[in-house]
Structure 1
Amino acid sequence: MSQGMSESGVYLYAVSRGLHADDVDGLVGLQGDPVRVLDGHGLSAVVGDVGLDEFGDEGLRRNLEDLAWLEQVARQHDAVVRGVARRGVLAPMRLATVFLNDDSVVERLGEWGSALQRALDRVEGRSEWSVKVYVSLEEIEAEGRAAAHSRPAGGGAGAAYLQRRRSQITQREDALGAASELGDSIYTRLAHSVAASRRLPPQDRRLTGHEGTMVLNAAYLVGHDDEATWTSTVDAIVAERPQARVELQGPWPPYSFATVEDV
């Protein structure tokens, strides 16, 4: 992020190409100002003005610790990105990408130019979909216990106790292994028929409130013409694996496939 002594900066939401001013009509930025387009180096930057008291270095250090502030900014950032995505291909920028002025944005477009063009080529005509898979380790362990109880135990009471303890440890390890293999198999199957895929870290249950153990958190870049076939594959996975809960969301702008980190 760039910051100077002025009281306002320029917030960069996304980069596209061939945008016109009327393509962002009606889109409102983070602090209520209208969104606008800056052209440079064959690219179109979607920007808005923000106060550096809130979005400068010091302000961000403070505000990034405020979950309510983060949620509000993320929602408005996404609203602008989605609005632009309806008008053409775009590469969303990271949250809180702020520059000193318009010239700084155009200069950065020149630095990122060829890489951003490649990223835009990669995501054109495609959207991002999210697939999350959850399982109950307790249910998997219960199946293991049922199988273990069907086998006769040998020896006396002490031997039976040790066998049960070993069985409990083995069942937990087996459950974790089975859950991991399930996530791997679903990820690989869905990745075969898409332009790109990315496996993301599992989300913390304390933050999301989801039930069960998340064994897959993945993003897929799916062509608009392929969406029906691909979502049918997801439906088939749901039918084949009743022990798993599969959560499908999308289509979204390609946050995971056309960000600054990728260029």
Structure 2
Amino acid sequence: MADRARYLYAVTRGVTTADLAGRTGLDDAPLEVVPHRGLDAVVSDVDLDEFDEDALRKNLEDLAWLERVARGHDDVVRAVAELGPTAPLRLATVCLADAGVRRRLDEWHDGLVAALDRVEGRAEWSVKVVERDRAPATSGGERGDSTSPGAGAAYLLRKRQETEQRAQDEDAALRRADDVYHGLAEVAVAGRRLRPQDARLSGLTGTMTLNAAFLVDDEDADKFAGVAQELAGAAEGAEVLVAGPWPPYSFATLEEA
């Protein structure tokens, strides 16, 4: 039998192994809780043949493996978030035994307590603004006689006008994105602008001008969704996409974890 290790998914408070009965982690391993100093680490067993340092160096470059582990990791984090405040841990955080898990909780203790205090009773919402692709402007004059008097000047004028129009459209798009962000920030506890997603990854058609995460009090979720709907109606020419509630990945994950 391969050597086993403890895979850490998240840290929470007030959750026991009994609360997670029937739930499984990677490779259908039962979930367990390692309590320490008022914190509860949610873990499961994994094979070191797959998760030791050398194996991880190879596996993290395998997209199929990475997707499987990321989905399993996220499934556990979502399950834990239904039970209490949750600080998701970085993918493939592994300790050899429970003693190592407790050492990690000692090392990260103050940061974890602060993170859990920050997200308790709150959830993350994702908001994206995508500008619809506009058909390029055409001019009947371009099909005329390019050798006629004044044709060159007219062509340059059209090009300058097209450039100015593109600049105006881009400015308007950025203003729409700012309006959405600032409008939602007023009803959220915190907001964070993220890097716009590549269309090949998001599957969205158009130009993403805003990719943001907001931390919202659970009791304000309906208000947040209502404001988002109002802002979407005012964002003419753009689509406002709202998703959530989710575990607070953007507001509770420790950078050092």
**Is the TM-score greater than 0.5?**
yes
Partner of 2:35: 39
Aligned residue in 1 for 2:78: 82
1-structure distance, mates of 2:189, 2:21? 32
Over the residues paired in the alignment, what is the CA RMSD in angstroms?
1.9
The one of 235, 238, 243 equivalent to 1:241 is 235
What amino acid does structure 1 have at the position aligned with 2:94? V
Question: Is the Cα–Cα contact under 8 Å of residues 39 and 45 in structure 1 kept in the other structure?
Answer: yes
Alpha-carbon contact 1:30-1:77 (below 8 Å) kept: yes
Contact map agreement 1:137 1:179 (CA 8 A) in 2: no
- Residue 201 of structure 2 corresponds to 207
Look up the equivalent residue of 1:169 and give its one-letter code: T
What is the deviation of 1:66? Answer: 2.2
- Residue 75 (structure 1) shift: 1.4
Deviations 1:30-70 (CA, angstroms, capped at 9, x unpaired): 12210100011210000111112222222222222222222
Letter of the 2:110 partner, please give it.
Answer: S
- Between the two proteins, what is the percent identity of the paired residues? 51
Identify the match of residue 119 of structure 2 among 92, 117, 123: 123
Deviates more, 1:6-15 or 1:185-194: 6-15
Residue aligned with 2:28, SS: coil
Between the aligned partners of 1:254 and 1:261, the Cα distance in structure 2 is: 14
Q: Which residue of 1 aligns with 2:217?
A: 223
Q: How does 1:154-165 map to 2 (within 5 A)?
A: 156-165=150-159
Corresponding position of 1:169: 163
2:249 corresponds to: 255
Instruction: Choose which of 192, 200, 216 in structure 2 pairs with 1:198.
Output: 192
Q: Could you tell me which of 17, 20, 23 is aligned with 1:21?
A: 17
CA deviations 1:10-34 (Å, max 9, x no partner) are 1110001122121111111112210
- Cα distance in 1 for partners of 2:210, 2:52 equals 36
**Amino acid paired to 2:88:** P
Match of 1:132 in 2: 128
Distance 2:153 2:4 in 1: 74
Whether the 8 Å CA contact 1:131–1:248 is kept in 2: the answer is yes
What is the alpha-carbon distance in structure 1 between the residues aligned to residue 90 and residue 245 of structure 2? Answer: 19
Could you tell me which runs of 5 or more consecutive residues in structure 1 were left unpaired when the two chains were aligned.
1-5, 147-154
Q: What TM-score, normalized by structure 2, do the two folds share? A: 0.90
Report the AA paired with residue 209 of structure 2: V
Partner of 2:146: none
Equivalence map 1:85-96=2 (5 Å): 85-96=81-92
Q: How many equivalent pairs are there?
A: 247
| Separation of aligned partners in 2, 1:94 and 1:246 | 29
Task: Tell me which residue corresponds to 1:3.
Answer: none
TM-score by length of 1: 0.88
Contact 2:193 2:210 in 1 (8 A): yes
Query: After TM superposition, where is structure 1 displaced by more than 6 Å over at least 4 residues in a row?
Result: none
**Distance (Å, rounded) in 1 between the aligned partners of 2:165 and 2:62:** 41
Q: CA deviation at 1:136?
A: 2.3
- Which digits, 9 at most, give the CA deviation of each residue in 1:128-152, with x for residues without a partner? 110011002525x65xx89xxxxxx
Q: CA deviation at 1:248?
A: 0.8
Deviations 1:164-209 (A, max 9, x none): 1222222222222222222122111111111111111000112222
Map 1:50-129 → 2, pairs under 5 A: 50-129=46-125
Deviates more, 1:176-185 or 1:84-93: 176-185
CA contact (8 A) 2:3 2:48 kept: yes
